Amino acid sequence: MKLIPALAAPANTLICGASQGIGLALCQSLLAHPDVERVYAVARHASSSAELEALAQEHGQRLLRFDCDARDEQALAQLAREVGASCQHLHLVISTLGILQQDGARAEKSLTQLDLSGLQATFATNAFAPVLLLKHLLPMLRKQAATFVALSARVGSIDDNQLGGWYSYRASKAALNQLLRTASIELRRINPASTVLLVHPGTTDTQLSRPFQANVPAEQLFTTEFAAQRILGLARQHGPEQSGSFWAWDGKPISW
């Protein structure tokens, strides 16, 4: 089964946010996939990650690690140069970047908890970093089948917002959706074989969700391995005709 639609050669793939959680599980799944030639694993501390080191020992040059803080545009430009030195085309790029309550971000419950620094921190990681990653990798997405996936969240849906709260997180994911919806239109003109997808992976047992898992039923709390398989399944099932769309882990579309 092909990794993505219209794939005609072994795939070069890149995971941003690769050192833990869903990103690490995606690296593991891709390295086990027969279509995958190479995985570029990108994280702030990719070179010192024990988990990525173990994968590198097992898979050799099929896994290449790159240290990059995706909130730093100069670092993204350098990443693109380094990846481009060994790769002319990326077939699948997945951004797992996202914060809720770390690095200055806060899960605000009321207007009184909002502050500029928290908003800026949340938007920098959740909205700006993924679209700037796409910008800098664009030269490697121009010529063949190419899919760019970013992890969004159902709470980023304006139509679905009935509970309020989580101001920064909701707004940053809504901004991500609009940025990548817009990018999908431009990318379609550049490369008609391109696909851009926004994916809600469900509530997954990661560092991001752990402070909020108390009221999540066990059957609705997913492992990172399950989330990775569902994300790859969505990438496999959706091609250029669905570019710029927003999907849940179970294959159902999410309204904006």
Show the tokens assigned to 186.
């431009």
The reply to whether 45 falls in a domain is yes
Tell me, what's the pLDDT at 219?
A: 58
Mean pLDDT for 24-53 is: 96
Residue 13 has pLDDT above 90, yes or no: yes
User: Angle at CA 51, nearest 5°, toward 197 and 11?
Assistant: 40
The reply to whether 255 falls in a domain is no
Tell me, what's the pLDDT at 113?
A: 95
Tell me, what's the pLDDT at 208?
A: 59
Least confident segment among 33-47, 137-151, 209-223: 209-223
pLDDT class for 122, splitting at 50, 70, 90?
A: very high
- What CA–CA distances, in Å, run from 2 to 33, 118, 145, 197? 9, 41, 12, 17
The reply to whether 154 falls in a domain is yes
Residue 75 has pLDDT above 70, yes or no: yes
The reply to whether 253 falls in a domain is no
- What CA–CA distances, in Å, run from 206 to 23, 99, 254? 10, 11, 22
Contact present, 151 and 97 (Cβ < 8 Å): yes
Between 97 and 222, the more confident residue is 97
Residue with tokens 């919806």: 181
pLDDT digits (tens, 9 = 90+) for 190-234: 999 999 999 999 887 666 555 554 565 555 667 999 999 999 999
Show the tokens assigned to 126.
């959740």
Contact present, 94 and 24 (Cβ < 8 Å): no
Residue 179 has pLDDT above 60, yes or no: yes
For the chain, the average pLDDT equals: 93
Read off the CATH number of the domain in which 65 is found.
Answer: 3.40.50.720
CA proximity to 93, closest of 152, 169, 33, 18: 18
CA distance linking residue 204 with residue 114, whole number of Å: 26
Residue 4 has pLDDT above 70, yes or no: yes
Show the tokens assigned to 119.
């908003």
The reply to whether 227 falls in a domain is yes
Helices in the chain by DSSP H: which ranges? 21-31, 50-59, 73-84, 116-123, 129-137, 167-190, 224-237
Query: What percentage of the chain exceeds 70 in pLDDT?
Result: 93
Least confident segment among 94-98, 138-142, 182-186, 202-206: 202-206
Tell me, what's the pLDDT at 207?
A: 62
Give this prediction's pTM.
0.94
Which residues constitute the domain of residue 63?
11-248
Mean pLDDT for 87-114 is: 94
Mind spelling out the 3-state secondary structure of 45-84? CHHHCHHHHHHHHHHHHHEEEEECCCCCHHHHHHHHHHHH
The reply to whether 147 falls in a domain is yes
Structural domains counted in the chain: 1
The reply to whether 109 falls in a domain is yes
Mean pLDDT for 178-198 is: 98
Mean pLDDT for 176-196 is: 98
Residue with tokens 């077939």: 91
pLDDT digits (tens, 9 = 90+) for 18-30: 999 999 999 999 9
Tell me, what's the pLDDT at 12?
A: 97
The reply to whether 1 falls in a domain is no
Tell me, what's the pLDDT at 74?
A: 98
CA distance linking residue 71 with residue 133, whole number of Å: 9
Tell me, what's the pLDDT at 214?
A: 55
Residue 54 has pLDDT above 80, yes or no: yes
Tell me, what's the pLDDT at 175?
A: 98
